[in-house]
Chain A
Amino acid sequence: MTVQISTATAHRRLSAPVRTDLAIGAGLLALAIVAPFVIDSKYLIGQLILAMFWAGIAVQWNLLFGYAGVFSLAQMALFAVGGYGTAMLSIYLGFNIWLAIASGAVLATVFSMLVGLACLRLQGVYVALLTFAIANVVYFLIMTDTACFRMQGTTCLQFSGGAAGFSRFGDFGMRQLLRGNWVMGNYGVVLVGFVLTMLASWIIIHSPMGLAFRALRDNQPYAIARGINRFHTQLLVFGISAFFTGLMGGLYAAHFQAIGPSIFSLSTLLFIMAIAVVGGVGTFWGPVVGTVVLMVTDEIMRDMGQFRTLGLGLLIAFFVVALPGGIVGQVAALRARRHARKQGV
C-alpha cells in the first residue's frame, strides 16, 4: 500500500525533471543531427564519433555504479568482448557485420553474467577488486597468446588476435554507399547506437526496477527488508549495462575496422571513470557533460603531449576531492540552494 503511494508521488514529482530531460535530449539530438552537415573537417567528425563511444560506455558505467551502486572495473573488458566478438564472429564464422555486432552485444551480456555470478555475491570494493582482476586476466591471456591458429600469407595469427588484435573484418558498408562521405554514414550509425544506449538507460532509471536498485544503493538493509533481492537486481543491471556496452564495442570495432588489446588498458578505463566523475556520478547527463569537458581538455592538452596522462590523473583526483558531485551535481546543488533561498524570502 505505502509502496504504491510512494511510487505514485514519485511519478508526479518526476514529471518536471522528465520534461527537462526530454527538452535537453531533443536539443542535443537536433545538434547531433545537424553537426555533420555543418562541420567540414573529417577529423572533427571522427572525434565526435569517438566522443559518442566514450560517452556511451560512461553512461552504462554510470547506470551500474552511479545508480545501482555496483562498483565494477570490468567495463572496458565488456566493451572489448563486444568488439572482439564482432571481429571474431565475422572472421571465423563469416557473420554479416550487423549480425556480428548484435551477437557481440549478446556475448558481452553472457560474459557479464558469468562475471556477475562470480562477483556480485560480494559487495563494494570486493566487487571492484575481482572485476579488475578478471579484466586483467583476460587482457593478459590475450597478450600472451602465441599459439598459431591460422595462417594469413606467411604470418601466423593467433586465435585471440594476440598482441596485434584483429583488423579488416568488414565495416558498415558506407564506403560503397556514400563514397567520399562515408564518415557521415558511420557517424549516423554510431549516433543511432548512442541514442539507443541513452534511451535504454533513461528508461531503466525511471522504471520500477530503477527505483529498486536506487533503493539498494541508498539504503541496502531497508531495501532488502522491503523484499528487493539484491543479487538478482544487481545481476540484471549488470547484464543490461553489459549488453549496451558490448553494442558500443561492436560499433567501435566496425567503425575503426580494428580491435586490439590496448582497449583494456588502465588509462582507457581511467578515462571512462574520469568522464563519469567529472560530469557527475549518479546524474543522468553527467557522463555527457563529462565527455565534452574531457574531450575538449584532451584536445587542448594534446599540445603538451607527454604531460597529457599526468594531467588527466591529477584532474581525476582533483575532481573527486574538490567536486564530489561532478559538474552536473554541483550545478544541481547550486540551483537547489538558490531555489531554497527564494522560497525562504
Chain B
Amino acid sequence: MDIFFAVLVSGLTNGALYALATLGLSLAWGSMGMLNMAHGAMLALGGYMVFTTATTLGLPLWAGMVAAAAAGAAFGALLYLLVVRPLLKHGGRGFETSVMIATVGVSIALQNALLLYYGGQPLRQPFAVSGAISWGKGVMPMLNVTIVVVSLAVMAVMGLLISRTRMGRAIRATAQNREAALLMGVPVERTYLQVLGLSGALAGICGVLLSAVTQLSPTLGADPMLKAFIMCVVAGLGNLPGAVIAAFGLAMIEAVVQFNFGARWGFPVLLLLVIAILIWRPNGLFGRVQIRRM
C-alpha cells in the first residue's frame, strides 16, 4: 500500500509538471506549427528568475513567481519578434524545420548564458513548502500538493483564457485557419506574439515548480522538455486537453515502471509505448487531421 501511494504521488507530481510543459509546447505548435526547442531553456530561465528575485533580492515568493512568468513571457515575445516573425515572412515552406533548427540555436545560447551568469554548480531554489498531508497510510508532502494545485490552477486559468476571452477566440481562430482569421480582421501577428508570450509564461511557472523538486541547473529543462515532446506527439500535436491527459497518463506509467524496474527504464519503456501508439495511430491518440501551414 505504501508503494502504491508513493507511485501515485510521484506520478501525480510529475504529471502536473509535464502537463504544464506540454501545454506550453502544444500551444505554440497548435497555433503556428512551431516546435519550440528552446522551451526547456525557458523552463530553466523561470527557475533562475525566482532564485534571483527571492534569494538574491529577498522579495516574497509570489513576486518571484510573477517575475518568472514575466521573464518567460518576455523571452517568448522576444523569440517571436527576432526569430519566428522573420521566418514566417520568408513564406511557409520549410518553416516547421527551420524554426526548429533556429530555436535549437537559441536554446543552446540561452542555456549557456544562464551557465555563464549563475555558474555551473547546482543551486537550491527558495520555493519550498514544508509539512505533509497524511491520509490513511499514504503521505503526500505539502510541496507536491502545492505543485499539483498550482499546476491545476494555472491550467484552469489557461483554459478560461483560451475558451472565454477575446484573445483566446483569436488564438483559436488563427489556429483553425490562418487566412480566414486574417480576412475576418484578426490581427494574426499580434495573436502569435500573445501565443508565444503565454507559452513563455507557462514555461516560467513550470520552471519554478520543477526546480523546487530537483535543483537549479541550466539544463534542468532538457529532460522534461523531451518527455513533454513525446507527450505532445502521443496526444496529437496541438491538442491541448489531449496533451494534459497524455501527460498525466504517461507520468503514471513512468512512475510505475520506475518503481518496479528501476529509474533508468522509465523513459525507454515510455518511448516504446509511444512508438507503438504512433504506429497504431499516426496522428496521435486524440489527433485530428494535422493542421498544415502552406
Q: Which of B82, B271, B279, B282 interacts with A133 by CB under 8 Å?
A: B271
Q: Provide the B85-97 mask, 1 if CB < 8 A to any CB of A, else 0.
A: 0110010001011
Q: Assess A125 versus B35: contact at CB under 8 Å? Given A134-B271, A321-B102.
A: yes
Contact in complex: B97, A313 (CB < 8 Å): no
Please count how many residues in chain B sit with their CB below 8 Å of the partner chain's CB atoms. 42
Contact in complex: B109, A313 (CB < 8 Å): yes
Instruction: Determine whether A129 belongs to the interface, using a CB cutoff of 8 Å to chain B.
Output: yes
User: Nearest B residue to A124 by beta-carbon distance?
Assistant: B96
User: Nearest B residue to A136 by beta-carbon distance?
Assistant: B226
Contact in complex: B102, A320 (CB < 8 Å): yes
Q: For residue A221, give the distance in angstroms from its CB to the closest CB of chain B.
A: 12
Tally of contacts, chain A with chain B, CB under 8 A? 119
Please count how many residues in chain A sit with their CB below 8 Å of the partner chain's CB atoms. 41
Instruction: Determine whether A306 belongs to the interface, using a CB cutoff of 8 Å to chain B.
Output: yes
Interface of B is mostly: helix
Contact in complex: A137, B271 (CB < 8 Å): yes
Instruction: Determine whether B160 belongs to the interface, using a CB cutoff of 8 Å to chain A.
Output: no
What separation, in Å, do the CA atoms of A125 and B271 have in the docked complex?
A: 16
Residues of A contacting B113 in the complex (Cβ-Cβ under 8 angstroms): 310
Interface of A is mostly: helix
Contact in complex: A314, B271 (CB < 8 Å): no
Residues of A111-137 contacting chain B, CB below 8 A: 118-119, 121-122, 124-126, 128-130, 132-134, 136-137
Contact in complex: A310, B112 (CB < 8 Å): yes
User: Nearest A residue to B107 by beta-carbon distance?
Assistant: A313
Residues of A contacting B82 in the complex (Cβ-Cβ under 8 angstroms): 321
User: Nearest B residue to A277 by beta-carbon distance?
Assistant: B101
Instruction: Determine whether A47 belongs to the interface, using a CB cutoff of 8 Å to chain B.
Output: no
Residues of B contacting A321 in the complex (Cβ-Cβ under 8 angstroms): 82-83, 86-87, 102
Residues of B261-288 contacting chain A, CB below 8 A: 263-264, 267-268, 271, 274-275, 278-279, 282
Contact in complex: A270, B108 (CB < 8 Å): yes
Residues of B contacting A334 in the complex (Cβ-Cβ under 8 angstroms): none
Residues of A whose CB lies within 8 Å of any CB of B are 65, 71, 118-119, 121-122, 124-126, 128-130, 132-134, 136-137, 140-141, 144, 266-267, 270, 273-274, 277, 306-307, 309-310, 312-318, 320-322, 324
